[in-house]
Structure 1
Amino acid sequence: MKLHRYGRAAAILSVASLALVACGEANNPGGENANGGDGENGGETSEVQGTLSGGGSSAQEAAMTAWTNGFTSVAPEAQVNYASVGSGSGREGFLGGEYDFAGSDAAMDDGEWEQSQEVCGPDGAFHIPSYISPIAAAYNVEGIDGTLNLDADTLARIFTGDITSWDDEAIAEHNPDLDLPDTPITVVHRADDSGTTENFTEYLEAAAPDVWEWEADGAWPAEVSSESAQQTSGVVDLTTSTDGAITYADASQIGGLDSVAVQVGEEYVEYSPEAAAQAVASSSPVEGQAPNNMAVELDRETEESGAYPIVLVAYNIFCNEYPEQETVDLVKAFGEYVVSEDGQSTAESAAGNAPMSDELRDQALEALDQISAAE
């Protein structure tokens, strides 16, 4: 029986969208900008002023820090404050008027979007995909070094607590060349409402439906007893300090932990930006929300060679309508910086994301251009 439901995770369009390409004219450092002029070294500066407040995904934290610092360098009179509170809390704060924008690793569901019309005008809020990143099933087991091979059912049985020891026959079947220890398994999950949890449980639901009995949710199922910690840094720290522990986290933030190669078709696929790209190639747009919405749904059951299906997309969620023109100008300028070549390259260096394509950047700029001030 399916027990929980809290929206669906989503991802951007295609493998092509992951190539690093030249920035669109609106963000060309050598070009012209209605908001500013030439800065040092021929780069643009923006004349926007004020402070934006955002909150949400802790998986986005490294990229967001890079973006907020980079934005200040091109908009010296502007500041962006971001609270790494988790995707669910970020969306909640955004819908409650606490934040000007939210960072989320899962798209708003239809109920949340309808709620956004109360604070964002008749077209509500919309999503801009900022980067995609694989989610690693990361572990710390003395005696196992490097990559461990697992299929979806075995991974799901570990996270449900059905498999309790690292030398279990189901694990050994996929790793015949390893001498597995009898170390007890400690599952570590996110304690906070998390887009990473929603993406990970959506994969388990789709790829191991006979084992994982719960629908995708930002909250870990209460029926599955395991250890927990707050935010990405918390689960990584707890796993790192616990022999026999396994967790799930944005792959860019697992530090020295080892990770699982997931069986896809007849092969085992390790995480990488390129492998994550293969998994989003068959995604489809989310219907029924804002006209300029850019959220799409992932194919978690892909058997495409080289695809790594445990993927999250980090979105920035903005209003289509803000009360003041000053906020509109700030939001547009920040959003344009995030999707610019410089913004994407900066985040790639900081967080290991796969930058967006020229085509996707153009779509994002068109979506951002529709933001307006309330009349």
Structure 2
Amino acid sequence: MKLQRNGRSKALAIGAMALVGSLSLAACGSDDNADPKASGSAAPSAAAIACGKAGQLLGAGSTAQQSAVDVWKVAYGNACAGSTITYSGGGSGAGVQQFNQGKVAFAGSDSALKPAEVDASKEVCKTGQGINLPLVAGLIAIVYNVDGVDNLVLDGPTLAGIFDSKIVKWNDPAIVKLNPTAKLPDAEIQAVHRSDDSGTTDNFTKYLEKTSAGAWPYKAAKTWAGKGGQSAAQNAGVSAQVKQVKNSISYAELAYAQTNNLKSAAIATGASKPVEATAANAATTFAKAKIAGTGSDLALSLDYGTKDEGAYPLVLVTYEIVCDKGNKAETLDTLKSFLTYAISDGGQQAISTKGYVPLPKELSDKVKTAVTALA
């Protein structure tokens, strides 16, 4: 993910982090129909969160981060009496649109703002502009529903063919070559893509653009461009479709694959063996992330074409889109308080059991600095 503006790139020295910690997770007002990782455990003490002014804070956008925000908003609401965090999904495109219309204090987006979106944000951020603050790191699982096939392996060219209706049978030679011992059926592939503008789609198509050796002829974008296939809205929608439809395949944030008990394909990247869709393997890819934004903008550039051992290439970072300056006075204090908790060690550890990858300290420290400076 790279914001289109000039600026030096800085390598992030990221080490693999232990995925620990848990937090109370209640199904609390998700517009993605249900919290994909609802479970119960003790909420943090009030002392762990520095509360802002009492009131309501509105956010919208990415469904890939929905379960992370559900964790955070329950914890924040429990700790901060009179404060309510309301986050509606709808996809990254819808979130950015609502932010630039002044309807929400922050937007979740799996893709950094484009130059035109930054320009549009200046109408809302009267004395500043929208910036990208990475808050949630995760991965996109290639989910599938094929009886008798438990360890599917796919690669960039093959996925490009499947999702552009050029590979239409599960026993196509390209799939057989990657899975010589699998009992692949002579059945039509039911490929499912996002119907809404989606940062998950943007990241998935960036991977296809980078790794398909020209088999994916379209530019990476939030809007789906491939031919054929079925469509469904949001991560919850495509996951439900795959669960219900035999011989189907789609792409979804890992939490939704886990919740729906869907099988996830390993990716052949050119490393010595295919890489499985796990948070630990995604962390290996994040180890070489670079900051591409300038100033307080922390947009990242990720290597979707990595061939490093154990590095899962289909990763994403969800940004919270906020005004660097010109935030509404009545919500600024709560916005800063909530984001400070979310980027804290406790906030990041709380979502690690939901399939997310805690951000490395070097990057989280930069986000904390940027949040403190919001005005």
Q: Tell me the TM-score normalised to structure 1 length.
A: 0.86
**Of the two, which has the highest radius of gyration?**
1
Q: Which amino acid aligns with 2:239?
A: V
Residue aligning to 1:319: 323
Residue aligning to 2:15: 16
Residues 320-357 of structure 1 deviation map (CA, whole Å, 9 limit, x = unaligned): 124543311011001101111221122223x2211123
Q: What CA distance in whole angstroms lies between the structure 2 residues aligned with 1:83 and 1:44?
A: 23
Residue aligning to 1:55: 60
Alignment counterpart, residue 220 of structure 1, candidates 224, 231, 234: 224
Q: 1:43 to 1:61 in 2, by over 3 A?
A: closer
Residue aligning to 1:268: 274
Residues 76-135 of structure 1 deviation map (CA, whole Å, 9 limit, x = unaligned): 121111111101100111011111100111111122112212211443112221121110
Task: Report SS of the residue matched to 2:102.
Answer: coil
Matched, 1:201 2:200: no
1:185 deviation in Å? 0.2
Alignment counterpart, residue 102 of structure 1, candidates 92, 98, 107: 107
Q: What CA distance in whole angstroms lies between the structure 1 residues aligned with 2:188 and 2:19?
A: 43
Matched, 1:284 2:290: yes
The residue correspondences of 1:235-314 to structure 2 (distance < 5 A) are 235-254=238-257, 255-265=260-270, 266-287=272-293, 291-314=295-318
Q: 1:286 to 1:359 in 2, by over 3 A?
A: closer
Q: What CA distance in whole angstroms lies between the structure 2 residues aligned with 1:169 and 1:244?
A: 17
Residue aligning to 2:36: none
Q: What CA distance in whole angstroms lies between the structure 1 residues aligned with 2:247 and 2:100?
A: 39
Q: What CA distance in whole angstroms lies between the structure 2 residues aligned with 1:21 and 1:309?
A: 22
Matched, 1:371 2:370: no
Q: What CA distance in whole angstroms lies between the structure 2 residues aligned with 1:41 and 1:217?
A: 41
1:46 deviation in Å? 2.2
Q: Which amino acid aligns with 2:285?
A: A
Q: 1:215 to 1:341 in 2, by over 3 A?
A: same
Q: Tell me the TM-score normalised to structure 2 length.
A: 0.86
Residues 15-53 of structure 1 deviation map (CA, whole Å, 9 limit, x = unaligned): 33855699xxxxxxxxxxxxxxxx968545525211111
Matched, 1:335 2:335: no
Q: What CA distance in whole angstroms lies between the structure 1 residues aligned with 2:332 and 2:58?
A: 13
Q: Which amino acid aligns with 2:221?
A: D
Runs of at least 4 residues off by over 6 Å:
none
Q: 1:45 to 1:130 in 2, by over 3 A?
A: closer
Q: Which is worse superposed, 277-286 or 338-347?
A: 277-286
Q: What CA distance in whole angstroms lies between the structure 2 residues aligned with 1:126 and 1:13?
A: 19
Q: 1:185 to 1:323 in 2, by over 3 A?
A: closer
Alignment counterpart, residue 159 of structure 1, candidates 156, 159, 163: 163
Q: What CA distance in whole angstroms lies between the structure 2 residues aligned with 1:17 and 1:367?
A: 24
Task: Report SS of the residue matched to 1:90.
Answer: helix
Alignment counterpart, residue 179 of structure 2, candidates 175, 180, 200: 175
Q: What CA distance in whole angstroms lies between the structure 2 residues aligned with 1:20 and 1:236?
A: 24
Matched, 1:361 2:367: no
RMSD across aligned C-alpha pairs, in angstroms?
2.4
State the aligned residue count: 345
Alignment counterpart, residue 112 of structure 1, candidates 111, 117, 121: 117
Runs of 5+ unmatched residues, structure 1:
1-5, 23-38
Q: Is the 8 A contact 1:70 1:343 kept in 2?
A: no
Runs of 5+ unmatched residues, structure 2:
5-10, 22-43
Q: Which is worse superposed, 71-80 or 274-283?
A: 274-283
1:317 deviation in Å? 1.4
Q: What CA distance in whole angstroms lies between the structure 2 residues aligned with 1:41 and 1:283?
A: 34
Task: Report SS of the residue matched to 2:351.
Answer: helix
Q: Is the 8 A contact 1:20 1:357 kept in 2?
A: no
Residue aligning to 2:137: 132
Alignment counterpart, residue 190 of structure 1, candidates 184, 191, 194: 194
Q: What CA distance in whole angstroms lies between the structure 2 residues aligned with 1:45 and 1:371?
A: 16
Q: What CA distance in whole angstroms lies between the structure 2 residues aligned with 1:155 and 1:330?
A: 43
Matched, 1:80 2:90: no
Q: What CA distance in whole angstroms lies between the structure 2 residues aligned with 1:139 and 1:127?
A: 32
Q: Is the 8 A contact 2:128 2:326 kept in 1?
A: no
1:74 deviation in Å? 2.2
Q: 1:43 to 1:314 in 2, by over 3 A?
A: closer
